[in-house]
Structure 1
Amino acid sequence: MPLKNTRVLDLTRLLPGPYCSMLLADFGAEVIKIEDPKMGDYARHYEPKLDEDSTLFHSLNRNKKSVCLNLKSEDGKADFLEIVAKADVVVESFRPGVMERLGLDYEKLKNVNPGLVYCAITGYGQTGPYANKPGHDINYLSYAGLLNLMGEKEGRPVIPATQIADIGGGAFPAALGILLALMEREKSGEGQFVDISMLDGVISWLQTALPNYLSHNTTVNRGEQMLAGGLAAYAVYETKDGRFLSVGALEPKFWEAFCLAIERSDFIPLLEAPLQEQYRLNYEIQTIISEKTLSEWLSIFSDIEACVTPVLSFEEMTEDPQVIARGMIQTVKHVTLGETKQISTPIKLSKTPGDIRSHAPKLGEHTTEFMKEMGILKK
């Protein structure tokens, strides 16, 4: 596998860090979760549970090993330093200064292992006036200006149903940063510090909105952005049976096909009409869509290329033929639970694909085995 013989020490908890290290583990990295002996990763204790740990923990921590160390004790710190000497990567998600107070910051660790790649995932990064502020996904979206754009015109901002900052702004950039640093190490033999700010990551996602402001100082209000309420061709409509149809007919050929399918050819010239006209268009299309059920509309659009799709529930998504064909939901065997279902990796490699090889570890499951392998006597 691409990351075989790459050892990652993962000190992170909850979502962003574990998602990052999961991506690495899925492609062969040996990921060692360094957990506190008493509490472990907080995500273990969430509900609902499978066996002893939460479903979230099972999903994020497959292919990993759990080793318990008390990093606040002198023995635990000494053991950690010995492990670091034989590692390639350290990932942590504490607030800036925590690792330094433990005596285990990057400067200390690189003296032990100059080739170490050290990645810190934080809300605001290692520098700036907010560096030491606490925060969660909603806070990073707010500071980035993204939350202000989400929702309907004249309504309140709408919180997204998935954690954009944690995963898109934190986990994925962290995984990429680690891989880039490992590639550079192949040339120089030296590791480096990877500073990931979830706020930075979210700002970098604003490619369809922020450049307009930066170049022309134009501000778009909530519900007026082209791809967030400003175009009738890019919207969600309710059907007769209370279901929803999403329309993404942005290009003229798709818009024309859509207009002909709903029998309103007079709408065709209005694809890029002014905003107020778009609102009128949206209202009229909604009136038309509400005349038929979702099933009836899907039948009408089944052979028409207009970028029209149903809004699916989880139950429908997991049974969708495209999702099944891509293997995005996998059934894996668990030693105590039997068969369980997991979300697969979205990264498809033709030669060295990712794989779910083992279930999430119990707290401290690999401590004794790993310490023996490292040549460290148990204290």
Structure 2
Amino acid sequence: MSQPLTGVKVLDFSTLLPGPLCSLLLAEAGAEVVKIERPRRGDEMRSYEPRLGEDSANFVLLNRGKRSIAIDLKAPDALERLMPLIREADVLIEQFRPAVMDRLGLGYAALSAANPRLVYCSITGFGQHGPRAQEAAHDLNYVAASGTLSLTAGSDGAPVLPPALIADIAGGTYPGLVNILLALRQRDQTGRGAHLDVAMADNLFTFQYWGLGNGALGQWPGTGTDLVTGGTPRYQIYRTADGAFLAAAPLEDKFWQRFTELVGLDAAALDAMPPPQATEAVRAAIARQTAAHWEQRFAGQDVCTCRVVGLEEARRDPHFGARGLFSRTVATATGERMAALPVPIDAAFRATDATLPSPALGADNPLLDH
């Protein structure tokens, strides 16, 4: 059965994470993705550690099923050589700073004149315009600038480093994918493409729906004071007697009632206390027993509580194995293999071939000669 994006041609000028992950999702749904890379070095992600074959494991995971062209975009004949591919392309992804593609002759105005149906997706930190549009920054900076990082403070009041590249993926990759698909659907109706301005910092505000809603009523959130920032015993991380941690989120009354019964406390009494005092009471109760004790006691109970596990243990969880999260593989150009990156594309839309390769740098340069 044909995949939903079969026949869609994507030129990906991006590097590192947001754009390449976006084009990976398109590729997994059947699009033909061609990476446009620099000669000799290619995508910076190729040089990262640890390595799998000639490239980094990160690069291999993010570029499964793609092709690669190595070309110097500043070369006098670069635009001429690329133009046949551009005229055939449905989607172009780039994440240079604003105006860089224009200086290379590859800006939206120029390319849409050659290919009016082109969906041109620009992923940047602060967008194509605005006072901060040219500011150099990375994921941590966007999380900080959007107000999100301020809500991660620990007991000493200092914000903690996020454990994932939130802005790159949640602010760049996913909005890029959503808007590309919307633009393709609109093109079906109008016959014309679009220029998509995906700003990672902008898109993080969506995650603060609750904080913005509270703030509109004069109740701006703070660290350790609100529902999901540590202001209630019903949404906390508790340390056990053996130094492990439990993630407890029994927010609703039915979960909270059962949770407190199992830890030997009275829900009504806790609710009558100031939140910090109630949290401390639960903390003391949890600290009297080991993680194994609590896992056994909570098993089969509706208490929305689980042990905090490491990534290696999570990877081995029988539940994720049963769902086939790591059943697909990616092969390098030199034959090494590893489990493919789990992606949020339904199995019904993905290729039946469970193993797809990542491209060697410039392996598809013959495409420029046609």
TM above 0.5: yes
Rounded Cα–Cα distance in structure 1 between residues aligned with 2:86 and 2:41: 22
Instruction: Count how many residue pairs are aligned between Structure 1 and Structure 2.
Output: 366
Return closer, same or farther for 1:300/1:8 CA change in 2, 3 Å cut-off: same
Amino acid at match of 2:226: Q
Match of 1:128 in 2: 130
Match of 1:330 in 2: 327
**Given that residues 211 and 220 in structure 2 are in contact (C-alpha distance below 8 angstroms), is that contact kept between their aligned partners in structure 1?**
no
- 1:174-195 CA-to-partner distances (Å, cap 9, x unmatched) read 0111000000000110001000
Match of 1:75 in 2: 77
Give SS of 1:34's match: strand
Rounded Cα–Cα distance in structure 1 between residues aligned with 2:358 and 2:330: 11
- 1:156-175 equivalences under 5 Å are 156-175=158-177
Match of 2:313 in 1: 316
Match of 1:222 in 2: 223
Match of 2:292 in 1: 295
Give SS of 1:171's match: helix
Deviation at 1:261, TM superposition (A): 0.5
Give the stretch that moved more between structures: 55-64 or 153-162. Answer: 153-162
The match for 1:285 among 259, 282, 287 is 282
Rounded Cα–Cα distance in structure 2 between residues aligned with 1:320 and 1:199: 34
Give SS of 1:309's match: strand
**Given that residues 149 and 157 in structure 1 are in contact (C-alpha distance below 8 angstroms), is that contact kept between their aligned partners in structure 2?**
yes
- 1:288-322 CA-to-partner distances (Å, cap 9, x unmatched) read 11121111110000021110111111121011122
Q: Tell me, yes or no, if structure 1 residue 259 matches structure 2 residue 256.
A: no
- Structure 1 runs (4+) deviating above 3 angstroms are 268-271, 335-339, 353-357
Q: Tell me, yes or no, if structure 1 residue 191 matches structure 2 residue 193.
A: yes
**Given that residues 61 and 330 in structure 2 are in contact (C-alpha distance below 8 angstroms), is that contact kept between their aligned partners in structure 1?**
no
Match of 2:251 in 1: 250
Amino acid at match of 1:321: P
Amino acid at match of 2:261: L
- 1:331-378 CA-to-partner distances (Å, cap 9, x unmatched) read 5263645441222222325x434665412111111222x335xx2xxx
Give SS of 1:226's match: coil
The match for 1:306 among 283, 299, 303 is 303
The match for 2:344 among 346, 349, 374 is 346
- Pairwise CA RMSD of aligned residues? 1.6
**Given that residues 71 and 80 in structure 1 are in contact (C-alpha distance below 8 angstroms), is that contact kept between their aligned partners in structure 2?**
no
Rounded Cα–Cα distance in structure 1 between residues aligned with 2:351 and 2:269: 47
Rounded Cα–Cα distance in structure 1 between residues aligned with 2:104 and 2:243: 56
Amino acid at match of 1:293: T
Rounded Cα–Cα distance in structure 2 between residues aligned with 1:294 and 1:331: 33
Deviation at 1:10, TM superposition (A): 0.1
What is the TM-score of this pair, normalised by structure 1?
0.93
Rounded Cα–Cα distance in structure 2 between residues aligned with 1:239 and 1:108: 61
Deviation at 1:208, TM superposition (A): 2.1
Amino acid at match of 2:57: T
**Given that residues 27 and 353 in structure 1 are in contact (C-alpha distance below 8 angstroms), is that contact kept between their aligned partners in structure 2?**
yes
Rounded Cα–Cα distance in structure 2 between residues aligned with 1:327 and 1:285: 37
Rounded Cα–Cα distance in structure 2 between residues aligned with 1:287 and 1:188: 63
The match for 2:7 among 5, 8, 11 is 5
Amino acid at match of 2:85: I
Deviation at 1:279, TM superposition (A): 1.3
**Given that residues 29 and 345 in structure 2 are in contact (C-alpha distance below 8 angstroms), is that contact kept between their aligned partners in structure 1?**
no
Amino acid at match of 1:241: D
Rounded Cα–Cα distance in structure 2 between residues aligned with 1:136 and 1:210: 24
Give SS of 2:121's match: strand
Rounded Cα–Cα distance in structure 1 between residues aligned with 2:323 and 2:196: 32
Rounded Cα–Cα distance in structure 2 between residues aligned with 1:3 and 1:268: 54
Rounded Cα–Cα distance in structure 2 between residues aligned with 1:26 and 1:117: 19
Flag structure 2 segments of 5+ consecutive residues without an equivalent. Answer: none
Rounded Cα–Cα distance in structure 2 between residues aligned with 1:164 and 1:10: 21
Give SS of 2:14's match: coil
Instruction: Tell me the percent identity.
Output: 38
**Given that residues 40 and 363 in structure 1 are in contact (C-alpha distance below 8 angstroms), is that contact kept between their aligned partners in structure 2?**
yes
Give SS of 1:155's match: coil
Deviation at 1:286, TM superposition (A): 1.5
Give SS of 1:236's match: strand
Rounded Cα–Cα distance in structure 2 between residues aligned with 1:151 and 1:328: 32
Rounded Cα–Cα distance in structure 2 between residues aligned with 1:18 and 1:330: 21
Amino acid at match of 2:289: K
Match of 1:360 in 2: 358
Rounded Cα–Cα distance in structure 2 between residues aligned with 1:268 and 1:304: 20
